[in-house]
Amino acid sequence: MENYPTQELLALRFLQYEVEGRLAYITLNRPAKRNALSADVVTELKQAFETAEADDDVKVIILRASGDVFCAGADIKYLQELQANTYQENLADSTHLMQLFHQINTLKKVVIGQVQGHALAGGCGLAALCDFTFAVPEAKFGFTEVKIGFLPAIVSVFLVRRLGETRAKQLLLSGDIFTAQQALDYGLITFLVEQDELTEAVRDYALRLVRENSANSMEMTKELLAHLPALSLEEGLRYAAQRNADARATDDYRRGIAAFLNKEKIDW
Protein backbone atom coordinates (compact mmCIF):
# COMPACT_ATOMS: atom_id res chain seq x y z
CA MET A 1 0.00 0.00 0.00
CA GLU A 2 2.98 2.35 0.37
CA ASN A 3 3.03 3.08 -3.38
CA TYR A 4 -0.50 4.50 -3.37
CA PRO A 5 -1.18 8.22 -2.92
CA THR A 6 -2.26 8.68 0.67
CA GLN A 7 -4.74 11.04 2.24
CA GLU A 8 -1.84 13.03 3.66
CA LEU A 9 0.07 13.28 0.36
CA LEU A 10 -3.04 14.59 -1.37
CA ALA A 11 -3.61 17.04 1.50
CA LEU A 12 -7.37 16.53 1.38
CA ARG A 13 -9.64 18.32 3.84
CA PHE A 14 -13.08 17.57 2.43
CA LEU A 15 -12.57 14.15 0.86
CA GLN A 16 -11.11 10.78 1.70
CA TYR A 17 -9.02 8.93 -0.88
CA GLU A 18 -7.98 5.30 -0.64
CA VAL A 19 -7.03 2.46 -2.95
CA GLU A 20 -7.87 -1.18 -2.38
CA GLY A 21 -7.70 -4.07 -4.82
CA ARG A 22 -7.40 -1.93 -7.99
CA LEU A 23 -10.33 0.19 -6.84
CA ALA A 24 -9.90 3.87 -5.93
CA TYR A 25 -12.47 5.20 -3.46
CA ILE A 26 -13.17 8.94 -3.52
CA THR A 27 -15.42 9.81 -0.58
CA LEU A 28 -17.14 13.15 -0.06
CA ASN A 29 -16.55 13.76 3.62
CA ARG A 30 -18.52 16.80 4.82
CA PRO A 31 -21.50 15.02 6.42
CA ALA A 32 -22.32 17.98 8.68
CA LYS A 33 -22.66 20.13 5.53
CA ARG A 34 -24.54 17.37 3.67
CA ASN A 35 -21.43 17.00 1.50
CA ALA A 36 -22.18 20.31 -0.18
CA LEU A 37 -19.96 21.56 -2.99
CA SER A 38 -17.69 24.60 -2.81
CA ALA A 39 -14.68 25.73 -4.83
CA ASP A 40 -12.38 23.90 -2.41
CA VAL A 41 -14.38 20.68 -2.64
CA VAL A 42 -14.36 20.87 -6.44
CA THR A 43 -10.59 21.41 -6.38
CA GLU A 44 -10.10 18.32 -4.24
CA LEU A 45 -12.40 16.23 -6.43
CA LYS A 46 -10.43 17.23 -9.52
CA GLN A 47 -7.20 16.36 -7.74
CA ALA A 48 -8.49 12.97 -6.55
CA PHE A 49 -9.82 11.97 -9.98
CA GLU A 50 -6.54 13.04 -11.60
CA THR A 51 -4.58 10.99 -9.07
CA ALA A 52 -6.72 7.88 -9.64
CA GLU A 53 -6.52 8.25 -13.41
CA ALA A 54 -2.72 8.43 -13.33
CA ASP A 55 -2.33 5.43 -11.01
CA ASP A 56 -1.62 2.28 -13.05
CA ASP A 57 -2.74 0.15 -10.11
CA VAL A 58 -6.24 1.66 -10.26
CA LYS A 59 -8.68 0.28 -12.80
CA VAL A 60 -12.09 1.47 -11.50
CA ILE A 61 -13.01 4.53 -9.43
CA ILE A 62 -15.87 4.62 -6.92
CA LEU A 63 -17.38 7.97 -5.93
CA ARG A 64 -19.26 7.80 -2.65
CA ALA A 65 -20.11 9.93 0.40
CA SER A 66 -20.16 9.75 4.18
CA GLY A 67 -23.25 10.46 6.25
CA ASP A 68 -26.91 10.28 5.27
CA VAL A 69 -26.80 12.55 2.20
CA PHE A 70 -24.78 11.88 -0.95
CA CYS A 71 -24.53 15.56 -1.92
CA ALA A 72 -26.95 18.44 -1.44
CA GLY A 73 -25.44 20.54 -4.22
CA ALA A 74 -23.67 23.86 -3.79
CA ASP A 75 -23.00 25.11 -0.28
CA ILE A 76 -25.57 27.90 0.30
CA LYS A 77 -23.08 29.98 2.30
CA TYR A 78 -20.68 29.68 -0.61
CA LEU A 79 -23.38 30.76 -3.08
CA GLN A 80 -24.08 33.74 -0.86
CA GLU A 81 -20.44 34.76 -0.94
CA LEU A 82 -20.39 34.56 -4.75
CA GLN A 83 -22.83 37.46 -4.93
CA ALA A 84 -19.94 39.81 -4.20
CA ASN A 85 -17.92 38.45 -7.12
CA THR A 86 -17.31 40.23 -10.39
CA TYR A 87 -18.56 38.63 -13.61
CA GLN A 88 -15.04 37.39 -14.40
CA GLU A 89 -14.70 35.87 -10.93
CA ASN A 90 -18.05 34.09 -11.30
CA LEU A 91 -17.09 32.89 -14.76
CA ALA A 92 -13.86 31.45 -13.36
CA ASP A 93 -15.79 29.69 -10.60
CA SER A 94 -18.34 28.27 -13.06
CA THR A 95 -15.51 27.11 -15.31
CA HIS A 96 -13.97 25.34 -12.31
CA LEU A 97 -17.12 23.22 -11.90
CA MET A 98 -17.42 22.72 -15.65
CA GLN A 99 -13.90 21.31 -15.70
CA LEU A 100 -14.80 18.79 -12.99
CA PHE A 101 -17.91 17.60 -14.83
CA HIS A 102 -15.99 17.33 -18.09
CA GLN A 103 -13.17 15.51 -16.31
CA ILE A 104 -15.55 12.86 -14.93
CA ASN A 105 -17.28 12.47 -18.29
CA THR A 106 -14.03 11.97 -20.22
CA LEU A 107 -11.96 10.18 -17.56
CA LYS A 108 -10.03 7.22 -18.97
CA LYS A 109 -11.19 4.96 -16.17
CA VAL A 110 -14.68 3.80 -15.27
CA VAL A 111 -16.38 5.80 -12.51
CA ILE A 112 -19.10 4.18 -10.39
CA GLY A 113 -21.36 6.34 -8.23
CA GLN A 114 -22.45 4.92 -4.87
CA VAL A 115 -25.44 7.00 -3.81
CA GLN A 116 -26.49 6.18 -0.25
CA GLY A 117 -28.74 9.22 0.24
CA HIS A 118 -30.25 12.27 -1.41
CA ALA A 119 -28.48 13.75 -4.45
CA LEU A 120 -29.75 17.23 -5.25
CA ALA A 121 -28.76 20.05 -7.63
CA GLY A 122 -25.00 19.75 -8.24
CA GLY A 123 -25.02 16.51 -6.26
CA CYS A 124 -27.56 15.09 -8.69
CA GLY A 125 -25.23 16.17 -11.47
CA LEU A 126 -22.34 14.28 -9.88
CA ALA A 127 -24.44 11.14 -9.56
CA ALA A 128 -25.69 11.38 -13.15
CA LEU A 129 -22.22 11.87 -14.64
CA CYS A 130 -20.83 8.59 -13.34
CA ASP A 131 -20.57 5.76 -15.87
CA PHE A 132 -22.63 3.54 -13.58
CA THR A 133 -24.66 4.76 -10.62
CA PHE A 134 -25.98 2.58 -7.81
CA ALA A 135 -28.56 4.17 -5.50
CA VAL A 136 -30.73 3.12 -2.59
CA PRO A 137 -34.53 3.21 -3.03
CA GLU A 138 -34.86 5.89 -0.32
CA ALA A 139 -32.61 8.38 -2.13
CA LYS A 140 -34.24 11.45 -3.63
CA PHE A 141 -32.95 13.23 -6.73
CA GLY A 142 -33.61 16.60 -8.28
CA PHE A 143 -32.17 19.56 -10.12
CA THR A 144 -33.61 22.15 -7.76
CA GLU A 145 -31.64 25.21 -8.89
CA VAL A 146 -34.67 27.04 -10.32
CA LYS A 147 -36.25 26.99 -6.85
CA ILE A 148 -33.60 29.43 -5.58
CA GLY A 149 -33.29 31.65 -8.66
CA PHE A 150 -30.29 29.78 -10.02
CA LEU A 151 -29.98 27.46 -13.03
CA PRO A 152 -28.52 24.00 -13.70
CA ALA A 153 -26.42 25.32 -16.58
CA ILE A 154 -23.43 23.00 -16.80
CA VAL A 155 -25.20 19.72 -16.14
CA SER A 156 -27.80 20.61 -18.79
CA VAL A 157 -25.19 20.07 -21.53
CA PHE A 158 -24.80 16.45 -20.44
CA LEU A 159 -28.47 15.79 -19.65
CA VAL A 160 -29.75 16.88 -23.08
CA ARG A 161 -27.35 14.42 -24.68
CA ARG A 162 -28.04 11.59 -22.27
CA LEU A 163 -31.77 11.89 -21.66
CA GLY A 164 -33.02 13.93 -24.62
CA GLU A 165 -34.45 17.45 -24.66
CA THR A 166 -37.95 16.53 -23.49
CA ARG A 167 -36.83 14.73 -20.33
CA ALA A 168 -34.13 17.32 -19.63
CA LYS A 169 -36.74 20.09 -19.82
CA GLN A 170 -38.99 18.21 -17.43
CA LEU A 171 -36.28 17.74 -14.83
CA LEU A 172 -34.51 21.08 -15.13
CA LEU A 173 -37.43 23.48 -15.61
CA SER A 174 -39.67 21.96 -12.94
CA GLY A 175 -36.98 21.65 -10.28
CA ASP A 176 -39.07 18.77 -8.93
CA ILE A 177 -37.60 16.23 -6.54
CA PHE A 178 -38.10 12.65 -7.74
CA THR A 179 -37.57 9.16 -6.39
CA ALA A 180 -34.71 6.78 -7.04
CA GLN A 181 -37.12 4.55 -8.97
CA GLN A 182 -37.99 7.48 -11.23
CA ALA A 183 -34.30 8.26 -11.65
CA LEU A 184 -33.82 4.66 -12.76
CA ASP A 185 -36.77 4.85 -15.15
CA TYR A 186 -35.44 8.11 -16.64
CA GLY A 187 -32.02 6.55 -17.25
CA LEU A 188 -30.34 8.92 -14.79
CA ILE A 189 -29.00 6.05 -12.64
CA THR A 190 -28.20 2.43 -13.41
CA PHE A 191 -29.11 0.22 -10.45
CA LEU A 192 -31.31 0.26 -7.34
CA VAL A 193 -29.88 -1.60 -4.35
CA GLU A 194 -31.03 -1.89 -0.75
CA GLN A 195 -29.06 0.20 1.75
CA ASP A 196 -27.52 -2.77 3.58
CA GLU A 197 -26.37 -4.29 0.27
CA LEU A 198 -25.07 -1.12 -1.42
CA THR A 199 -21.39 -1.20 -0.50
CA GLU A 200 -20.98 -4.88 -1.36
CA ALA A 201 -22.98 -4.59 -4.59
CA VAL A 202 -20.85 -1.68 -5.83
CA ARG A 203 -17.62 -3.42 -4.85
CA ASP A 204 -18.64 -6.71 -6.50
CA TYR A 205 -19.63 -4.95 -9.72
CA ALA A 206 -16.41 -2.93 -9.79
CA LEU A 207 -14.28 -6.01 -9.19
CA ARG A 208 -16.11 -7.84 -11.98
CA LEU A 209 -15.11 -5.06 -14.35
CA VAL A 210 -11.54 -5.34 -13.05
CA ARG A 211 -11.40 -9.10 -13.58
CA GLU A 212 -13.34 -9.52 -16.82
CA ASN A 213 -12.70 -6.41 -18.91
CA SER A 214 -9.67 -4.97 -20.64
CA ALA A 215 -8.73 -1.58 -19.17
CA ASN A 216 -7.65 -0.40 -22.61
CA SER A 217 -10.95 -1.47 -24.18
CA MET A 218 -13.00 0.29 -21.52
CA GLU A 219 -10.89 3.44 -21.95
CA MET A 220 -11.34 3.41 -25.74
CA THR A 221 -15.08 2.77 -25.40
CA LYS A 222 -15.46 5.70 -22.98
CA GLU A 223 -13.55 7.93 -25.38
CA LEU A 224 -15.75 6.78 -28.27
CA LEU A 225 -18.98 7.48 -26.38
CA ALA A 226 -17.75 10.89 -25.22
CA HIS A 227 -17.01 12.00 -28.80
CA LEU A 228 -20.02 10.61 -30.65
CA PRO A 229 -22.69 13.17 -29.56
CA ALA A 230 -20.77 16.03 -31.21
CA LEU A 231 -20.52 14.23 -34.57
CA SER A 232 -22.95 13.83 -37.44
CA LEU A 233 -24.04 10.30 -38.38
CA GLU A 234 -21.47 10.09 -41.15
CA GLU A 235 -18.70 11.58 -39.02
CA GLY A 236 -19.60 9.26 -36.15
CA LEU A 237 -19.45 6.18 -38.36
CA ARG A 238 -16.06 7.19 -39.78
CA TYR A 239 -14.74 7.88 -36.28
CA ALA A 240 -16.09 4.53 -35.02
CA ALA A 241 -14.42 2.69 -37.93
CA GLN A 242 -11.11 4.38 -37.14
CA ARG A 243 -11.33 3.46 -33.47
CA ASN A 244 -12.26 -0.09 -34.44
CA ALA A 245 -9.09 -0.32 -36.52
CA ASP A 246 -7.04 1.24 -33.71
CA ALA A 247 -8.31 -1.36 -31.24
CA ARG A 248 -7.18 -4.21 -33.48
CA ALA A 249 -3.58 -3.00 -33.18
CA THR A 250 -3.51 -3.18 -29.36
CA ASP A 251 -1.87 -5.81 -27.19
CA ASP A 252 -5.15 -6.28 -25.30
CA TYR A 253 -6.91 -7.21 -28.55
CA ARG A 254 -4.26 -9.80 -29.41
CA ARG A 255 -4.30 -11.23 -25.89
CA GLY A 256 -8.09 -11.34 -25.80
CA ILE A 257 -8.50 -13.05 -29.15
CA ALA A 258 -5.78 -15.59 -28.37
CA ALA A 259 -7.36 -16.44 -25.02
CA PHE A 260 -10.79 -16.81 -26.62
CA LEU A 261 -9.51 -19.11 -29.38
CA ASN A 262 -7.55 -21.20 -26.89
CA LYS A 263 -10.49 -21.32 -24.49
CA GLU A 264 -8.30 -19.80 -21.78
CA LYS A 265 -9.40 -17.47 -19.03
CA ILE A 266 -7.56 -14.19 -19.34
CA ASP A 267 -6.37 -12.27 -16.31
CA TRP A 268 -6.93 -8.61 -17.05
Same domain, 173 and 98: yes
Same domain, 47 and 157: yes
Q: Is the pLDDT of residue 5 over 70?
A: no
* CA 235 distance to own-chain centroid: 27
User: Residue 50 contacts by C-beta under 8 Å, 6 or more apart in sequence?
Assistant: 103
The 10 Å CB-count burial string (b at 16+, else e) for 48-58 is: bbebbbebeeb
* CATH number of 257's domain: 1.10.12
Q: What is the pLDDT of residues 23-74, one digit of tens each?
A: 999 999 999 999 999 999 999 999 999 999 999 999 999 999 999 999 999 8
Query: Beta strand 132-135 with 119-120: parallel, antiparallel or unpaired?
Result: unpaired
The total number of structural domains in the chain stands at 2
Look up residue 87 and give its DSSP letter. Answer: H
* CATH number of 116's domain: 3.90.226.10
Query: What gap in Å lies between CA 226 and CA 240, rounded to an integer?
Result: 12
Full residue range of the structural domain in which residue 218 is found? 214-261
The verdict on residue 40 lying in a domain is: yes
pTM: 0.92
Find the mean pLDDT for residues 192-214: 97
Same domain, 96 and 219: no
The verdict on residue 266 lying in a domain is: no
The verdict on residue 267 lying in a domain is: no
Compute the Cα dihedral for 188, 193, 194, 199 and give only its sign.
negative
The verdict on residue 1 lying in a domain is: no
The verdict on residue 163 lying in a domain is: yes
Q: Is the pLDDT of residue 226 over 50?
A: yes
Closest listed residue to residue 110, CA positions, set 135, 136, 97, 129? 129
Which residues carry out catalysis? 145
Query: What gap in Å lies between CA 256 and CA 136, rounded to an integer?
Result: 35
